[in-house]
Structure 1
């Protein structure tokens, strides 16, 4: 059964949840040991009750040293997915997320893509100068231009548009042709006539968590699962340096990947272990502040 650990053993560090500061724990991991980092760190001025909060003007300086360690432990073909969203301050969006992206590029990260998590069940509301937030960003960074990406693993059904569009194919659709507006995109819709699935867009329509997961900012399991399938090979290692309730680790176990999780609040480190143990079939009880933190790993998953 899994319990939080306080120190990293270089010989046996995978499939464990560590209780402690991410920056300090990252420094103890070996180089190039992780296939994918997927995480949602505390947003600026958010969750101050749980995590103390980081001021927007200090956010870049706080996160960059962590990102440098993430780059060191990531394999050359690995990916780093950062789920983050700036907040509104005095009537306008703060710029700390943009500033962070620019600074990460200066530190050697390649900003490969940006995915939009569309929260299709976002709570309704009304504000005098804007509409409700219904999306968050998932920035995709890599170390190299060539990286692991299994696009077939996230293909989606073609949908009803296929029958309608294929039925009325025009001459241009039957052969590959250049864009009429002069860009380099070219298409041949006829090639998809016999296919049942297509590649997705970079907009992910995923509902937020609506049930009580005992954590104030847990993202839905479907979100890390999508990136794990796309950017981490089976048996690979997924790291979440801000593990929270353990969602990334649970998704990794279900998808036959290994995991490493860091969490600096004991309550949530215990909650992560509880959720992982449930997936592994152990009989578990609700964690308490006095529960033992014996060091027991998951050797049956070690690779």
Structure 2
């Protein structure tokens, strides 16, 4: 790989970044789509913009994005330093962003939204704000719900403490919703790109064979296991591994990755609500091809952009807070 220099307009500092082996040079660089805006920084295949994503999305042309993958601030009971909107106002707040997201998506593009649930204040009951948002996205803006997926995150804290650890009348949350939405009922997707290794039982049955039988449900089980040749098993809608032979649970509390280490070494603030690379990696592989454009309008530490670059996709990241976007440069090597 050849090193590629890029300029950060804010500081005019030349930074050396490794050019992705998979980057398709004949594709237009994403920064050219926003001709009137200057990115905070750019890499071989992407650009990060500082500002309100509603304004920056408006500067992008129609039907220009293959995948929008994002995790906006949740409507939590307690205020977070990176900003979050109240449950009562959340749907009204988010829909203007979603309108622009739908406009910039290609006809076969996808919008993948990671959003966490919330407890009602002072009560051991759950808020419905995120379900109301999903319904509004479909019924008011015209998105299609391609599939409900879930992120298994064992690093979640046992909260609210009053109900989970003090009174012991509720159990710990360990999943978050990941809604796969699309402009049409037939977005681009290929589950062969995210096949998982076959289990030991599947390999054993393929070798040993099994008698043709009928399950109590009436489902026919055939003796043939020809599909074992497809290269792997179809994954479930619970995202929890990194396509490795051994299970690697997808938590978000990594303390020894390169981004975290470099933030600590330089005294820069670590984003407190990061998602693991496993999450955008799964959907980027499933829903895009090399050279496609991936956009994250609430980029934070820009995990999605770093994954897109590694996978040979182009990317645009947008965030409102400069300190987090500045630190996201650490995701792109030395």
TM tier relative to shorter chain: 0.7 to 0.9
User: Quick one: structure 1 residues 145 and 12, their matched pair in 2 at CA, closer, same or farther if it must change by over 3 Å?
Assistant: farther
Q: Tell me, which stretches of 5 or more residues in structure 1 are unaligned?
A: 174-178, 284-303
Is the 2:69–2:295 contact (alpha carbons within 8 Å) kept by the matching residues of 1? yes
State the alpha-carbon separation in 2 of the partners of residues 269 and 134 from structure 1: 28
1:147 alignment partner in structure 2: 187
State the alpha-carbon separation in 2 of the partners of residues 129 and 64 from structure 1: 35
TM-score, length of structure 1 as denominator length: 0.81
Is the 1:76–1:143 contact (alpha carbons within 8 Å) kept by the matching residues of 2? yes
Report the 3-state secondary structure (helix = DSSP H, G, I; strand = E; otherwise coil) of the residue aligned with 1:272. helix
Report the 3-state secondary structure (helix = DSSP H, G, I; strand = E; otherwise coil) of the residue aligned with 2:330. helix
Aligned-pair CA distance for 1:187: 6.0
Alignment of 1:178-217 (within 5 A): 181=217, 188=222, 190-194=225-229, 196-205=231-240, 206-212=249-255, 213=260, 214-217=270-273
1:100 alignment partner in structure 2: 133
User: Quick one: structure 1 residues 52 and 151, their matched pair in 2 at CA, closer, same or farther if it must change by over 3 Å?
Assistant: closer
Bigger relative contact order, structure 1 or 2 (CA pairs below 8 A, ≥6 apart): 1
Alignment of 1:230-245 (within 5 A): 230-245=286-301
Is the 1:81–1:139 contact (alpha carbons within 8 Å) kept by the matching residues of 2? yes
Alignment of 1:218-237 (within 5 A): 218-237=274-293
Is the 2:305–2:317 contact (alpha carbons within 8 Å) kept by the matching residues of 1? yes
Aligned-pair CA distance for 1:110: 0.1
Aligned-pair CA distance for 1:143: 0.5
Report the 3-state secondary structure (helix = DSSP H, G, I; strand = E; otherwise coil) of the residue aligned with 1:156. coil
Greater alpha carbon shift after TM alignment, 155-164 vs 77-86: 155-164
| CA shift digits 1:223-265 (9 cap, x unpaired) | 1011101111110000000000010110011000000111000
Aligned-pair CA distance for 1:11: 9.7
CA RMSD of aligned residues (A): 2.6
Is the 1:235–1:256 contact (alpha carbons within 8 Å) kept by the matching residues of 2? yes
Report the 3-state secondary structure (helix = DSSP H, G, I; strand = E; otherwise coil) of the residue aligned with 2:49. strand
Is the 2:291–2:312 contact (alpha carbons within 8 Å) kept by the matching residues of 1? yes
1:172 alignment partner in structure 2: 213
State the alpha-carbon separation in 1 of the partners of residues 104 and 48 from structure 2: 17
2:149 alignment partner in structure 1: 115
2:35 alignment partner in structure 1: 9
Greater alpha carbon shift after TM alignment, 236-245 vs 204-213: 204-213
Is the 1:3–1:270 contact (alpha carbons within 8 Å) kept by the matching residues of 2? no
State the alpha-carbon separation in 2 of the partners of residues 243 and 260 from structure 1: 9
Alignment of 1:255-274 (within 5 A): 255-274=311-330
Is the 2:158–2:171 contact (alpha carbons within 8 Å) kept by the matching residues of 1? no
| CA shift digits 1:177-235 (9 cap, x unpaired) | xx8647xx776463335555111111111421333431110000111011101111110
State the alpha-carbon separation in 2 of the partners of residues 67 and 217 from structure 1: 21
State the alpha-carbon separation in 2 of the partners of residues 44 and 111 from structure 1: 21
Q: Tell me, which stretches of 5 or more residues in structure 2 are unaligned?
A: 1-5, 11-30, 40-44, 241-248, 261-269
- Tell me, yes or no, if structure 1 residue 64 matches structure 2 residue 95: yes
User: Quick one: structure 1 residues 211 and 143, their matched pair in 2 at CA, closer, same or farther if it must change by over 3 Å?
Assistant: same
State the alpha-carbon separation in 2 of the partners of residues 117 and 45 from structure 1: 18
